[in-house]
Structure formats: structure tokens, C-alpha cells
A and B are shown apart, each in its own frame.
Chain A
Amino acid sequence: MLLQVDEVIKRFGSTLALDCCSMQVEEGEVIGLLGPNGAGKTTCIRSIIGLIPIDEGSITVFSQKQDGKNREIRRNIGYVTQEITIYEQMSGRDNLAFFASLYGMDKLSIANRIEEVAQIIGLEGRLDDKPKHYSGGMKRRLNIGCALIHSPRLIIMDEPTVGIDPQSRSFILRFVKQLARDGSTIIYTSHYIEEVEAVASRIYIMDNGHMIAQGTLPELIARIQGDHFIEVEVRIASEEKKLQLQQLPDVKEVALEGNRYRIVVPGGIPVLDKIVLILSEQGLVTINTKQPNLEDVFLTLTGKQLRDEVQS
């Protein structure tokens, strides 16, 4: 076991940021850590690295106890922070070299490794420019590169793609997958479902400081296999109708996204007619029943829709 988080509790004043949080990671896994803003993802990561003390529970990394003082653990972790933490006024090369020096790497291996990392993050031609002249996506890539420079055993990425263009995002997802193929162990935190679906070999779903489910994508979907998912698109949607739908006895969850209602119902119970009755005044456009995906898993387990959280 590479990482073991055992029933960890962490409070910030009266906020319970981690509530009996547990997690296990094996060497070579790519763990997707999925949860809405405020779920406790960053707090979980900071506890694993030993940046904040925990109140209860225990954390073991590389078979050593995390007590906040263990430098051996830190030496082998690469941390991509949620905020971009690079020096904007220093060149990309200077940034990579500085972070490498924090790990005690010597000059020659730093120089060699910088070229390798530049290739991975696709910044070969721009290393001598300052990040203040980079695009948002390039800054994010350098932010990741600085965490790869010392070839860590465990790479932890906290929302590494927030606020960037789709091209940069898909580039990052591609090289994360490549890192995984090369044998890195990765914890990838995100509130974007597609990203986690794309990169993770196993997924943890987190809400209110607690891991509410974990498993591979098929396993998670199997957990809600009994449910049916109905998507109804209307011309004019309203919150009021959403509430009415929620009040139907056989409806488990309802989410409203644009003009689309996403409704979870137990399999084998005929409720479609009631749904249609409620929504008919709104001008039905399409009705679909579909295979569940990770988004539906999340909706069923948390009663929340991630996308709504993103906007707030």
C-alpha cells in the first residue's frame, strides 16, 4: 500500500473539513478524487503531505507515518497546487530549476531533467520566457511541470486544469494518462466529471469531508444499476416544476441543467406518465432514458449536481 488514510478527522474551528475520511492507494494507481467545492479535497491532500496537522485518525505514506516532520515522505511527493504557484517574473527554466533545488538535486541532473519535463508538459520552446507572458494553459502546465521535476513516486494534482481552454485541458489530460502508463501513482482531484472519468483507474467520491463511495467506474455505475435515468428537455424549465418532480413518491433525484431535467427513478416503476404530465405545459422537446454514467452516480449518491456547484 502506497498511501493509507485512516478515518481522519480535521476541524478548522467549527468547520468539520474531514469527517472520518479514509482512502487507500496502491502503487501505480491513478485515483480520481471527485467532489464539489468545499468537499474537503484540498484539506485531504494537505493532510497527506503533512502541511496541516490532523485532529484524529492516521495517515501512512510509503509505509511511514505522516507526522508532519517526515522529510522522506515529502521528498517523494510531487504536489500540484490548486492555485498556480510559480514565480511569474522568473523564466520557466528558473522555476523548474528552483523547485528541483528544493529536493536537493544536483546541477547536472536538474539540467537533464528540465529538458525531459519540458517535453512532457509541451513547453520546450518557451522555457526561457517568463510565465507572465504565458497563456493560462501554459502556466498550468508549468505548474504541473514543477511538481514532476524530481520524479516523485506519488504525484498529487489538485484541480490542475481549473480555468483553462479546452485544448490545454485535453493536452494535460493526455500527458497525465501518459504519466500513468509510465507507472506513476497519481491522485487527481477535480470537480469535472469528464476529467476524472478520462484519467482515473479508480475513483473516490467525496462530499462533506467524507468519502461516500469508491471504486472503478464500472463498479460505481453498477452500484446504481437498478436505477433508471430519464432526461427530459423542455422549452422553458422552472425550479418550481423541479420541486414538483422531487415530490413524486417514486422519484429519487432531480437535477436541472439548462432546459434539461435529469431524473433518477428506481427501475421497473412506471412514473414516466406522471413526469410527462408535470412537464407537459413547459413544451416537451425530447425525452430520453439512458445508461447511467459517473455524473448519475454522483447525483444519486450525493443528491447534488457537480455542475451547479462549479458555477456558484
Chain B
Amino acid sequence: MIAFQLKRSSRDLVGHTVLILFPLALIFFFDYLYKNVNIETGMGMGGQSPITALVIGFALTFQIYGSAISFETLAEDLYSPMHDRIFSSPVEMRSIILSILVSSTLVSFLQTAILLVFSSIILGASFPSLPFVLLVLLVSVVFNQLFGTVLLLLTGGVKTANMVTTIYGSIVPMTVGLYFPLPKGEFFRLLRMYGSPMSLANTASLAVMEGQIRLFIICLAVLLLLIAVLFFCLQPLIRRISI
């Protein structure tokens, strides 16, 4: 079933292109800005070059938009006549949701990975401790996809889920300092580093590149905890829509 769902997700070529090319263009644009127009990036990137911080930041941002891969696919099956067709069979609601979740997670992670590869080839970004960075990005994808699914089941419609995701995906990157520097001060430093799931993933990635293992582990652990919470929220939601 996962093979089918993977194949199904892969058919959305326009979606994939947008989710890869658009962040790439933005990274290119901001990188140009930082290099030529003496602007500072808002991210606390330690010793990393701006381009590396930008790639991580935009990869994480577009993972949020990429959560639509799971909830739009899911909505096609749950909120349409397809629902009756699928559940006239003995299959469990849980299996359908999980198979879509797993395949969407793989697809979204692949987009992130491709973004990293492209930006290192084209823009010369470098990623120390790459396997650990990828691990953080994978955990972040799982969080976002799960979040999208919970959101859909909670709101019961793709429209609301899309709206919430769009708003969330526009505001959260700002709190990480992706688009412009945040004001100085302890509050904004904490907001930038730990204020949202995206900040946690961002901090964890930068930390592991800097060799700050403790910070890396703490942020990753909190992210995993959030995933567990979402997963537990999923159970009653699934029960609610199955009969």
C-alpha cells in the first residue's frame, strides 16, 4: 500500500517542482542580498556561512508547506466519495492514514534532501556533520506531516488546513529570523532558538554543525516529544471518523 501511495504522491510533479525550485530561488535571492547589500542575517548561525543557514531555514520552511502533501492526499480519500469505496473494504482507517503519512514523509524528506544537494552544487553551501543534519531534517518532516494530518482531521476540511498551514508557514520563519533580523534581547533570542518546532529543528541543525552536542540533543528530544504528543492526538481523531 505504501508503494502505491508513494507512486501516487510522485504524480504531483508541479507540487514537487514548486517545493524545490521556489525555496532554491529564495535562497539564491537572500544569499545575493547578504553578499552584496551588506545586510545581516537574522539567524544565530555561529560559525556557519549565511548560505548554509539559509538553506536549512528555507528547507524547514518549505517542509511546513509540504505538509499539504499528506493532508491533501488524505482528504482525497477521506472527504470524498472515495471514502465509501475504500471503507467498503475490510481495511482499517489507521492503515490508510499511516500509509499516506509514511509515503508523504518520504516524499517531503526527499524534497529537502534534493534542496540540500542542489544548493551545495549550485550555491556552494556546505553542511558539516551532514548525516546528523539530515536526521534533524527528517524528524522535522515527520513532525510537519503529522501536524498536517492532525490539523486536517481536527478541522475536517482541506480548506481550513491549508489556511492554517499557510499562516503558520509564513509567521514561524520570521520568528526564526529567516527573512529579517529580530530585535536584540533575551526574549527574541529564546524565541529564535526555541520558540517553535521550526526553531527547535533549526537550532538543532546549527548546533550539530557547530559541534554543540548537548544543545542538539535537547532540541531533538523536544521535537521527538512533540511528535509523540501529535501521535497520541491522532488516535482519538482516527477513532472519531471511523465507524
Q: Are A103 and B88 in touch, CB under 8 angstroms?
A: no
Interface flag for B91 (CB, 8 Å): yes
Within 8 A of B (CB), among A49-77: 49-53, 68-69, 71-72, 74-75, 77
Q: Name the B residues within 8 Å of A77 (CB-CB).
A: 88
Interface flag for B94 (CB, 8 Å): no
CB contact between B11 and one of A49, A72, A89 (< 8 Å): that residue: A89
Q: Are A81 and B11 in touch, CB under 8 angstroms?
A: no
Q: Name the B residues within 8 Å of A74 (CB-CB).
A: 87-90
Q: How far is the CA of A50 from the CA of B89 in the complex (A)?
A: 10
Q: Are B90 and A79 in touch, CB under 8 angstroms?
A: no
B236 to chain A, nearest CB (A): 17
Q: How far is the CA of A69 from the CA of B92 in the complex (A)?
A: 10
A133 to chain B, nearest CB (A): 14
Interface flag for B82 (CB, 8 Å): yes
A94 to chain B, nearest CB (A): 7
Interface flag for B225 (CB, 8 Å): no
The interface bits of chain B over 1-30 (1 if a CB of A lies within 8 angstroms of the residue's CB, else 0) are 100100110010000000000000000000
A137 to chain B, nearest CB (A): 19
Q: Name the A residues within 8 Å of B8 (CB-CB).
A: 87, 89-90
Interface flag for A85 (CB, 8 Å): yes
Question: For A94, A99, A102, which residue has the most chain B Cβ atoms within 10 angstroms?
Answer: A102
CB contact between A103 and one of B85, B89, B243 (< 8 Å): that residue: B89
Question: For B81, B84, B85, B88, which residue has the most chain A Cβ atoms within 10 angstroms?
Answer: B88
> Interface residues of A toward B: which range?
20 to 34
Q: How far is the CA of A150 from the CA of B90 in the complex (A)?
A: 12
Q: Are B1 and A101 in touch, CB under 8 angstroms?
A: yes
Q: Are B1 and A98 in touch, CB under 8 angstroms?
A: yes
The interface bits of chain B over 66-103 (1 if a CB of A lies within 8 angstroms of the residue's CB, else 0) are 00000000000000111011111111000000000000
Q: Name the B residues within 8 Å of A53 (CB-CB).
A: 243
Q: How far is the CA of A90 from the CA of B10 in the complex (A)?
A: 10
Q: Are B90 and A104 in touch, CB under 8 angstroms?
A: yes
B136 to chain A, nearest CB (A): 33
Q: How far is the CA of A150 from the CA of B80 in the complex (A)?
A: 23
CB contact between A97 and one of B4, B84, B91 (< 8 Å): that residue: B4
Interface flag for A46 (CB, 8 Å): yes
Interface flag for A83 (CB, 8 Å): yes
Question: For B1, B89, B243, which residue has the most chain A Cβ atoms within 10 angstroms?
Answer: B89
Q: How far is the CA of A275 from the CA of B85 in the complex (A)?
A: 50
Q: Contacts A75-B90, A101-B1, A104-B90 hold; do A85 and B85 have CB atoms under 8 A apart? A: yes
Q: Which B residue's beta carbon lies closest to that of A69?
A: B243
Q: Name the B residues within 8 Å of A103 (CB-CB).
A: 89-91
Q: How far is the CA of A104 from the CA of B4 in the complex (A)?
A: 14
Q: Are A52 and B243 in touch, CB under 8 angstroms?
A: yes
CB contact between B4 and one of A49, A50, A52, A101 (< 8 Å): that residue: A101
The interface bits of chain A over 5-26 (1 if a CB of B lies within 8 angstroms of the residue's CB, else 0) are 0000000000000000000000
Q: Name the B residues within 8 Å of A50 (CB-CB).
A: 243
Q: Are A51 and B87 in touch, CB under 8 angstroms?
A: yes
A298 to chain B, nearest CB (A): 27
Q: Name the A residues within 8 Å of B88 (CB-CB).
A: 49, 51, 74, 77, 79
Q: Name the A residues within 8 Å of B243 (CB-CB).
A: 50-53, 68-69
Q: How far is the CA of A254 from the CA of B91 in the complex (A)?
A: 49
Within 8 A of B (CB), among A89-126: 89-90, 94, 97-99, 101-104
Q: Are A102 and B90 in touch, CB under 8 angstroms?
A: yes
B74 to chain A, nearest CB (A): 14
Q: Are B81 and A81 in touch, CB under 8 angstroms?
A: yes
Q: How far is the CA of A51 from the CA of B11 in the complex (A)?
A: 30
Q: How far is the CA of A53 from the CA of B243 in the complex (A)?
A: 8
Q: Are A94 and B84 in touch, CB under 8 angstroms?
A: no
The interface bits of chain B over 111-147 (1 if a CB of A lies within 8 angstroms of the residue's CB, else 0) are 0000000000000000000000000000000000000
CB contact between B81 and one of A72, A85, A90, A99 (< 8 Å): that residue: A85
CB contact between B90 and one of A71, A89, A90 (< 8 Å): that residue: A71
Q: Which B residue's beta carbon lies closest to that of A103?
A: B89
Q: Which B residue's beta carbon lies closest to that of A158?
A: B84
Q: Name the B residues within 8 Å of A83 (CB-CB).
A: 81
Q: List 6 A-B contacts (CB under 8 A).
A: A49-B84, A79-B84, A89-B8, A99-B85, A102-B1, A103-B89
Given A72-B90, A90-B11, 4 further pairs, Cβ under 8 A? A85-B82, A97-B4, A98-B1, A150-B89
Residues of A within 8 A of B (CB): 46, 49-53, 68-69, 71-72, 74-75, 77, 79, 81-83, 85, 87, 89-90, 94, 97-99, 101-104, 146, 150
Q: Lowest 4 CB-CB distances: which A-B pairs, in order?
A: A71-B90, A85-B85, A79-B88, A102-B89
